[in-house]
Structure 1
Amino acid sequence: MSSQDATPPEWDANRLRIASDAAGVALWSWNVDTNRIAMDARAHGLWDVPAGEAVTFEDLSARIHPEDLDRVRAAFAATRQKFGAYEIDFRILHRGEVHWISARGRGDDQGIVGRTMFGVFLDVTERKLAEEARELLSNEMSHRVKNLFAIAAALTVIASRSADTPKEMARDLTERLVALGRAHELVRPALGEQKRAAPLADLLAVLLGAYDDKGTIGSRIRVSVSDILVGEGAITAMALVVHELATNSLKYGALSKEAGSLDVTCTANDGEMVLVWTERGGPRISAPREQTGFGSVLVKNTITRNLGGTIAFDWPAEGVIVTLRMNSARLGT
């Protein structure tokens, strides 16, 4: 290879544009005197601003997510005094959807040409969504571990009610923990493994069996479900919701008391499946002002996003009634 061949091409404007397009980089310049911002075609598309128009920060502010606006304003005002490179990540509203943008540049007037500063915008939506998913997974794992300790303690109490000897109690508790493990497998999605469609009645029997006094549903827990199948794509979501409701009942609701009972009924018609979860005989619980715990948020998000439905809580004096409405098509029924 000659020395001429080894020499990289000159980085003219055309070659820089090819490189920035390949990297998904959008360019901006800011006149510090007039406060006008000029952007390239990619930046105009990113912000959904008509091409060829110079804009100001105030023009762009109308597209910044309201929860991020004050933070971005303060950061923008401080950029010239900031030494070295800076990076600001924030959300914008793009045609009704939320996108994440990373604005990057250099402060302390480094690289200023005349009275104009330069920088780039990057669309970091996919990265932010991945970070949110990892955070959700981490919180969910912590939530489940805490629940497992509470469940193990409660199942020990249930097993002790009917056992006459320590040996019987140990066998009963072991069976319940094994059943709980089977239920947990339904909640935990397995990578690369697809689940087959399953009858909802069988799914509920597996999920709730460990919580009944006899180790199988039919004593304190009664299930009345018509012939409904849950498709493989919805089994994990459905199992997660039922598992969370059962755990809450065991910790705070009807299943935490010996006299408490749980009835689960389900019907399907007109493209909708309605599951009613009715608890009676538990401790008196007043309706919470707002359900913001991680478990409540997890259930609500799963119902709305994964199953295309809604969840409603009623708090009569004798217990709680939870009504789940789900899109039959999402369930694969």
Structure 2
Amino acid sequence: MTDKGEGMYPSPAEQAANTEVFITSELYARVPRKVDYRREKAALQDLAARMAGCPDELLPRLVDLALETTGAVTGGLSLYDEASTPGAFRWRFLRGLLEPFDGGLAPRDYSPCGITLDQRAPVLAQNPEKVYDWLVEAGLSLPEVLLVPLYVGSDSPLGTLWVVADSNGYFDGEHARVLTEFASFVDIPLRMVRSEQHLRQTLDEQEMLTREMNHRIQNLFAMTHSLVRMSARHAGSASELADTLLGRLGALQRAHGRVRSGFASSQAAPSGSDLEDLIRDIMEPHEAKSGPARCALSGTPLVCGPRSATALALIFHELATNAAKYGALSTEVGRVAIDWREEGERLFLRWTENGGPRIEGSPERSGFGATLVLNSVTRQLGGSLRHDWRPSGLVLQMELPIAALAQ
């Protein structure tokens, strides 16, 4: 089966106006068949049993019972495929002569099924291949087709249930009534299945969020313990220890604030933080209250995951703290430029200081802050780090794997 391009076939209204093909009014002009209510009741009981015990068998059994109760020679379901472009119906659970076409597609706006959904009522079509050339291309000739709409709830179209007779003038109003009863009956279990699927998905997401939150809390406790222990080792006084710890914990807090919004959304994991926003948050306390900006940022948009955002927050906090103590941010005219670019699977990030005290060479020894930056880059993010102690100021270059930043 093939599909014409959108706009290349008659509108649904023009198709439905073809009284040679669409003969729904004849359904109620024909003498109705003798009703076998016992058989109809047994069919509904069968569907109820499937609903309770084997819900996955409900739709195929619906097709089987539709053929049994109407005496049609073939039939099936056309289920609306929302993912297709343009919209289309997928043939499912076909029985009889059309069974080889199971899984095929039919255009939403160029098919009897589309007309049925638009009219939200039974439709009778006679030799629809006279209008729909994709039926001709498939070698199909359908003397008479009776279709009824399938809905999940009142506004969510699922598709259509249809049966085919091997001669014209076969179907009548009682056939349409029985199929409508069947279609209405399965609406309830289909809604239950969808509700159950939605509930299961919600519970799975909540469980994943709980695991993720527990994991992050454990990481924060471990990192806080390490910060306290290492900061105490290098602090000269209680006041210095308090200031150092407050600064580092503040960086962690800002990083956590950047990613925690993902927990309030419907996503199964935190959405992450934009790299530029994260750096700007860390550098903001070092900006002058007035005058030109002291920190210039430039780079392509990049989203960092919770783990990498925490590491980056500590890295830039330490760099900013050192710059404020000894480097460019320790003078009124000093400036820091931070830029980054992506090349393949790597991110190249550069920190450049200018306007601070003249640098005579690399430091003779490194403190805990430098060790924290090195470990964060190499161990946590799997990257590399290079310092260039220029007379005009420190230039630090990081190379980081993009994959690690997504974590």
Structure possessing the higher radius of gyration over alpha carbons: 2
Q: TM-score when scaled to structure 2?
A: 0.38
Which of the two has greater helix per residue? 2
